[in-house]
Structure 1
Amino acid sequence: MLPPDFLAADLWGLSVAAWLTAAVAALMVGGLIHGKVGADLVLLSGLLALLLAGILSPSDALRGFANPGVATVGLLYVVAAGLRETGAVDRLTAPLLGRPRTSMGAVARLTAPVAVASAFVNNTPIVAMFLPVLSGWARRCHLSPRALFLPLSYAAILGGMCTLIGTSTNLVVAALIDAHRSAPSAADATPLEPLGMFTLAKVGLPIAVAGLGFIWLAHRTLLGAAEQSPDRKDSDPKEYMTALRVEPDSPVAGRTVEQAGLRHLPGLFLARIERPDETIVAVSPQQRLYAGDTLVFVGAVESVVDLQRIKGLTPAADEAAQRLQGPRHQIRLVEAVIAASSDLVGLSIRDAAFRTRYGAVVIAV
């Protein structure tokens, strides 16, 4: 910790503490732009540097974490993760997003529900929750995800301006106003009215409507067309086969193939359904799925990975199923290519001791 007299010393019109703070802030901005280190580590490192230098006291350094606005945003991340992991996001958004055929329809179907939802759930978790849904939905509809990410972000920002809890900035300002009103000196200061749930709506709602209209009309000019050819393949062209079993508690059990969202998958198709007493090939969209069914898919690697997000579908191989039991967020699906010079060439999976050697399970070849 640097001596207080040194920190208070004047240097070119500013104190040493001010110059050090500016230097730390510049390094933090550089770290965020560089992107090689996580934003949380960059910001916490800057906070720690100011704390160790004596510019911030421990109470000042920890005060931000006790802010109700910050705590609220953190809890909303937990809610968003729960909705994503349980598959509730997919079930809630599927009827809203549908299958638009034009760029205008896609942007309108995406931004309207996001703007409404972000007015009542903080906009940052909303964007984090919709990103994985948006990627899969765009591929199914033959749209470019890159032309939809920015409208998603701005729709969440516009919707968040309409209510108190829509954005973390509103929550922080509301907490500061409450602290000001309860301070002993508040009686002599200009009174500030507290922010209610819809205090900002009279200004935020017209801005949100105008902003959404601008996005709908100008997105194609500014961001390019969202449509892409159905024949375009962004993923690896190599075909990949895998079998997934429908678990008893799966939301797809009892639904048809089309209702379960397993039809018109990008770069992927349901080749057959295997049951103990029969095998169904040339699967119809109206074919009903039941618990215990083994679904055999063939397609591109990236599309097979998307199937892992569907709750209740697990790898059908007994060895893989046993190994993959556990929290879904701890499971990683990796594609590996055997080089011509590899010592694995010519060996079976068992002979290669793949699980012992690499700590992984082969679920498809």
Structure 2
Amino acid sequence: MADHTLVFIVLGLTLSAFVWGRFRYDLVALTALLGSVILGLVPGEQAFLGFGHPAVITVAAVLVLSRGFERSGVVDVIAEQVLRVGDRLVLQLIALTGTVVVLSGFMNNVGALALLLPVAMRLAREHDTSPSFLLMPLAFGSLLGGLTTLIGTPPNIIISSYRGSITGENFGMFSFFPVGAVVAVVGLLFIVLVGWRLVPQRAGKASTEEMFDTANYLVEVKVDEDSKAVGWSLRELQHELEETIPVLAVVRDEKRRAGHAFLGALREGDILLVEAGPEEMKLLEDKAGLRLGIDPKEEEAEGEEGRTNSEEGRDGRGDERSKDKDGDEASSAQDRNSGQSASDSNPAQADRREGGEQEKAKEKKKNKKPGVDTKGLELVEAVVRNDSMMVNRTVTQLRLHNQFGLHLVAVARDGSRLKQRLRDIRFRAGDVLLLQGGESNLTESLTTLGCLPLANRNLTIGQPRMLVVSVLIFAAAIAAMLFDVLPAAVALSVAALLSLLVGVLPLREGYQALDGPVIVLLAAMIPVGQALETSGGAALIAENLLVFGVDWPIVVTLVALFLLAMLLSNVINNAAAAVLMAPIAASLASGFDVSPDAFLMVVAVSASCAFLTPIGHQSNTLVMGPGGYRFGDYWKFGLPLSLLVLVVAIPMILLVWPL
């Protein structure tokens, strides 16, 4: 079997696995690489050269620098200004989307979105705006902003490196700017003026209380003298229940202790604040002897109060009858004017009627759910990222409480709370979680799990000195790239190293900033993409495209190339799309005997136009849960935006990069 046929089989299976989504894309890419080595398509000694490829190193350095910007407070200063725009939706869109467009040009676009997502949620809550109007424009803006510079998005880095491999000269830091800036500005105007109107409104999901309806699930249960739970720790309680029922707080001696930090044994009189529905309440009563936290003395007092009220009611009626006998003219006139019936004037019937009303009131009071004070609970919302270790795993498998010190309180998907038991839920990318944990380790735990917090950001965490230092380090790296002092990969790596050395970013957070799945994806797919070229597969695809395009102007072929790369980027990772389409674009340029620059630029722009599906880019997935979007919502907004980018980008590419 010919090598190019084997490459097509490997790529076909790889793309099918990407679309299926059952396995993580980094595992799929690594399988494709090893399969190519076994089939002889990639030499064994070159299998892992991708991990040292300049494009991979550049992406890693940008991820570290992006985290440094967050840590130093650069973005917090910007976000603080965004929060001042007021309650007009158009101004909110301009501020949020415009800011993310600018930020995405100089840092990882997913990182830029992650920093402004909590700001958008806070705006929606403070001004009673549906977050669905803000979040999809924000995600699309992050993709548009990445078009403007070399480091804005991985496809630009990949295309630049590929150009260097075939021409000996990479694209520069701002080589993408003339085309990318025009496309980004036009796209921003479309989003602000028209695009947001194409987004379906998902009302009432802007706050934790509305999304999770928390108050209806929080109840207080009491440890009585005969409760089985006396002497148990909370861990032993969960083990006996064989169920994930989060204990948010333990009240003892009128002092409330957070459940995640309570390590002692339960005593008689303790009150537990738990997240429980009817089934869980029955489980707590049957297996632990816990019941709703109403003290028997309080019940007796309530009974005494009810009897006292009843007696007062009868005394009142006796007094009223006495007044009637004494000839109280005002009372008699009022009775006559009210049209009092004969049956109402009968004392026996009146007593029975009032007794019935008291029984109804007592029953209503009995069934009424006790109020729960949630003040001071450390609850935080977080969205599950595509690369999260939580994806397709349950809370039991993750051991959230034992290993990470977190209680899972509730899960929302597609904008509404899931009603199934917590232990049965397998998490998906885009799920919104309501978690409880200690403030000291909450950030670290969420980072390790691969979750993005949606809580209100503290806009004063940055240190002014580090803010200035981080900007100066980054500016020096950009200058070194512009004046060809250092290659991009080296300049940005030096900047990342300096950020770690001077303390802009702790070393541990620097390693956490490295997006492992993206790094593995790029490193694995680069040799596979080279195999597509060396086997003749790219040339074969280009020849077939040339056959159809020989009678048409080159611009038609560019449009077809744009559409093909754009569709590919909406079903697989955009970096993988750029890796696969770059050799095809170069082969097309060679077939037409023209400069490859225009064809490569078409791939760079189109690979970042993943506006049609929530799985095409992490930015789209991250806003799906908080915005309450459904899969089909994206193309309604994304299709006209994609066509607009096509119409604007092709003429600009031909103007800036003539054939």
Q: Which residue of 1 aligns with 2:179?
A: 203
Q: Which residue of 2 aligns with 1:341?
A: 283
Q: Which residue of 2 aligns with 1:170?
A: 156
Q: Which stretch of structure 1 is more off in the superposition, 61-70 or 114-123?
A: 61-70
Code of the residue aligned with 1:220 in structure 2: it is W
**How has the CA–CA distance of structure 1 residues 361 and 103 changed in structure 2, closer, same or farther, with 3 Å as cutoff?**
closer
Matched, 1:218 2:218: no
CA drift at 1:128: 4.2
CA separation in 2, counterparts of 1:58 and 1:137?
A: 53
Q: Which has the larger radius of gyration?
A: 2
Q: Indicate the structure with greater helix content.
A: 2
**How has the CA–CA distance of structure 1 residues 151 and 142 changed in structure 2, closer, same or farther, with 3 Å as cutoff?**
same
**How has the CA–CA distance of structure 1 residues 124 and 71 changed in structure 2, closer, same or farther, with 3 Å as cutoff?**
farther
CA drift at 1:229: 8.5
Which residue, 157, 161, 169 being the options, matches 2:143? 157
Q: Which residue of 1 aligns with 2:32?
A: 46
**So what's the TM-score if we normalise by structure 2?**
0.33
Code of the residue aligned with 2:23 in structure 1: it is V
Question: Matches of residues 114-125 of structure 1 in structure 2 within 5 Å?
Answer: 114-125=100-111
Instruction: Give me the identity figure in percent.
Output: 29
Contact 1:143–1:226 under 8 Å retained in 2 = no
Pairs aligned (count): 249
CA separation in 2, counterparts of 1:341 and 1:108?
A: 51
Code of the residue aligned with 1:233 in structure 2: it is E
Which residue, 69, 73, 76 being the options, matches 2:62? 76
CA separation in 2, counterparts of 1:148 and 1:141?
A: 12
CA separation in 2, counterparts of 1:361 and 1:175?
A: 43
Contact 1:158–1:207 under 8 Å retained in 2 = yes
CA drift at 1:318: 7.6
The 3-state SS of whatever aligns with 1:233 is helix
Deviations 1:103-155 (A, max 9, x none): 32332121101111111113243234444554455344433334433322321
CA drift at 1:62: 2.1
Matched, 1:236 2:240: no
CA drift at 1:221: 2.8
Contact 2:124–2:131 under 8 Å retained in 1 = yes
Code of the residue aligned with 1:197 in structure 2: it is M
Code of the residue aligned with 2:283 in structure 1: it is S
CA separation in 2, counterparts of 1:236 and 1:152?
A: 26
The 3-state SS of whatever aligns with 2:23 is coil
CA separation in 2, counterparts of 1:145 and 1:109?
A: 15
Question: What's the C-alpha RMSD, in Å, of the aligned pairs?
Answer: 4.0
Q: Which stretch of structure 1 is more off in the superposition, 228-237 or 145-154?
A: 228-237
Code of the residue aligned with 1:203 in structure 2: it is V
Contact 1:127–1:156 under 8 Å retained in 2 = yes
Contact 2:131–2:205 under 8 Å retained in 1 = no
CA drift at 1:341: 2.6
**How has the CA–CA distance of structure 1 residues 144 and 201 changed in structure 2, closer, same or farther, with 3 Å as cutoff?**
same
CA drift at 1:213: 0.4
Contact 2:107–2:151 under 8 Å retained in 1 = yes
Contact 2:205–2:211 under 8 Å retained in 1 = no
**How has the CA–CA distance of structure 1 residues 179 and 110 changed in structure 2, closer, same or farther, with 3 Å as cutoff?**
same
Contact 1:119–1:160 under 8 Å retained in 2 = yes
CA drift at 1:162: 1.9
The 3-state SS of whatever aligns with 2:212 is coil
Code of the residue aligned with 2:186 in structure 1: it is A
Q: Which stretch of structure 1 is more off in the superposition, 75-84 or 101-110?
A: 75-84
CA drift at 1:87: 7.5
Deviations 1:139-183 (A, max 9, x none): 44433334433322321222222222222222222223333444x
CA separation in 1, counterparts of 2:127 and 2:171?
A: 42
Matched, 1:126 2:112: yes
Deviations 1:229-265 (A, max 9, x none): 8899222242688xxxxxxxxxxxxxxxxxxxxxxxx
The 3-state SS of whatever aligns with 2:150 is coil
Deviations 1:31-90 (A, max 9, x none): 333333322222222222222333222344323322222222223333444555788755
CA separation in 1, counterparts of 2:78 and 2:216?
A: 31
CA separation in 2, counterparts of 1:361 and 1:152?
A: 29
Which residue, 12, 23, 44 being the options, matches 1:37? 23
**How has the CA–CA distance of structure 1 residues 318 and 217 changed in structure 2, closer, same or farther, with 3 Å as cutoff?**
closer
Q: Which residue of 2 aligns with 1:297?
A: none
CA drift at 1:220: 3.0
Question: Matches of residues 50-129 of structure 1 in structure 2 within 5 Å?
Answer: 50-81=36-67, 89-90=75-76, 92-98=78-84, 100-129=86-115
**So what's the TM-score if we normalise by structure 1?**
0.55
